[in-house]
Amino acid sequence: MPLNLPDKLPAIELLKEENIFVIDNSRATQQDIRPLRIVILNLMPLKITTETDLVRLLSNTPLQVEISFMKIKSHTSKNTPIEHMKTFYTDFDKMRGEKY
């Protein structure tokens, strides 16, 4: 089954080159499948590389998986562009009420 990832996540193109079935949020909302929702707290310094590695591992499931990335508000990433963090990561405070 496909992985449901945030639109324009850099890992999407790398995974597609490896023939891993990935769909973005806009396409996933059109399907009538309730995905397994997972939140990832990525504490590794090379976030984009780690995102790709983690998503690659999760791609081996038969379930449709919706992945969200969480960050700690007080932490500033030194090795990942701030725009990437703002676009693809959400503070814990904003995710607290969500069900995963």
- pTM of the predicted structure, to 2 decimals: 0.76
Structural domains counted in the chain: 1
Domain boundaries, position 29: 3-95
Look at residue 16 and tell me if it is in a domain: yes
Q: Which phi and psi (to 5°) does residue 51 adopt?
A: -55, -45
Look at residue 88 and tell me if it is in a domain: yes
pLDDT in tens, 19-32: 887 776 777 667 66
Contact 91, 73 (CB under 8 A): yes
Contact 64, 1 (CB under 8 A): yes
pLDDT in tens, 51-89: 999 988 888 777 788 899 999 888 888 889 999 999 999
Look at residue 27 and tell me if it is in a domain: yes
The pLDDT of residue 77: 87
pLDDT in tens, 31-50: 667 788 999 999 999 999 99
Instruction: Report how far residue 70's alpha carbon sits from residue 67's, in angstroms, rounded to the nearest whole number.
Output: 10
Look at residue 100 and tell me if it is in a domain: no
